[in-house]
A = this chain, B = another copy of it.
Amino acid sequence: VTEALTKGLTEIVESHIDAIAIGATVLGTGGGGDPLVGSLIAKRKIREHGPVQVVGTEELSDDDVIAPIGMIGAPSVSLEKISAANELDQAMGLIEDALGKQLSAIMPIEIGGGNSLLPIAAAASKGVPIVDADAMGRAFPEAQMVTFHLEGYGPGTTALVDVQGNGVITRPTSGAWSERLARVTSFEMGGSATMIDYVHSGAVVRKCAIPGTLSLAHSIGEILLSPELRDEQRLSTITDTLGGFQLFTGKVTELDRSVRGGFTRGLAQLTGISDDKDSQMSLYFQNEMLLATRGDQLAAVTPDLIAVLDTATGQPITTEALRYGARVSVVAFPCNPRWRTQAGLETAGPKYFGYDVDFVPVEQLVSDTNAPSA
């Protein structure tokens, strides 16, 4: 099974989509857009236009024009407000018009459920390759939380398109302004919109993007869907293979979730099962899972990845799909090392989100918890 993790995709056909959706939802840490809607759109576009060629970042020419495309808004909204079939095409046309350039390839801005799949649909529709890479190595809630930003590259000219057919182009002065303008615009558009930002050259993408993440998502999905593994083996196979940790197993005993300021925000309280009934874990989220605590102890924190999976089946659960009473397992993985730099932590560390804790790598937190008390 571990071989799957080194096996890169060379093209994406309809039968790949379910595995990519599931794997990307694990890496998406609860956010990144709804995987079901994204799957349906990607499958239909592949049926209509044929398989999508996958290219590695090393195959890009310096002057290729690469467009990340995805959904911005609260996942709670996008489940009920399905994006129109032509939103992707309209967004690509709008950005080509604004830039006066043709797009050479598409890439996911983040590896999250829907936002890994919409770029595949867009690439199929346009007949261009998709780059096996993204700009987060996970999903994050805000638009400037991308590796381009960490390397000093701005959002450039951005495009927003809604289900009504409205188009908005922004030329923001910074990544933070791009996020602010896109957030209020997508909120006014009904809570979600299709967005293209951080369109950069092949040279810049090669320097900034995190390579291989579409293939990684596909491999994780294959493990979780594998008929050869028993349900209880799936979780340990994933954590063992990715260098992750199983933090907690329990049921959801409290759930506070609402759409505020254009995000799905909330807190889930988990309580241990059977002989572990006194143990508790709290999960704080803003579209994505951002902070896990066990009592007053930090268990894992952004930018490290925190994912919630169904204990019985190993299927990942988005922050929007989380339900009271569900039996879930919490797993955590180290983030890409770029997010652990000073720039990375300033951009997407716990203090940025208003949590008064210092970042501690999840592997160190787990090691401290397991160490015998003095």
Q: A residues touching B (Cβ–Cβ < 8 Å)?
A: 94, 98, 164-173, 177, 180-181, 183-185, 187-189
A173 touches B166 (CB 8 A): yes
**B residues near A187, Cβ cutoff 8 Å:** 184
CB neighbours of A188 from chain B (8 A): 180-181, 183-184
User: Judging by beta carbons under 8 Å apart, are A169 and B169 in contact?
Assistant: yes
Contact of A185 among B164, B165, B167, B184 (CB under 8 A): B184
Whether B172 lies near A171 (C-beta < 8 A) is no
Please give, as numbers and ranges, the residues of chain B lying within 8 Å of A185 by CB-CB distance.
Answer: 181, 184-185
Q: Are A98 and B169 in contact (CB under 8 A)?
A: yes
Contact A167 to B171, CB < 8 A, known contacts A98-B98, A184-B188, A185-B185: yes
Residue from B167, B170, B184 in contact with A167 in the complex, judged by beta carbons closer than 8 Å: B170
CB of A346, distance to nearest CB on chain B (Å): 20
> Which B residues lie within 8 Å of A169 (CB)?
98, 168-171
Bound together, the chains give a CA A337 to CA B181 distance in angstroms of 38
A167 to chain B, nearest CB (A): 4
A170 → chain B closest CB, angstroms = 5
Report the bound CA distance from A177 to B187 in whole Å.
13
A206 to chain B, nearest CB (A): 29
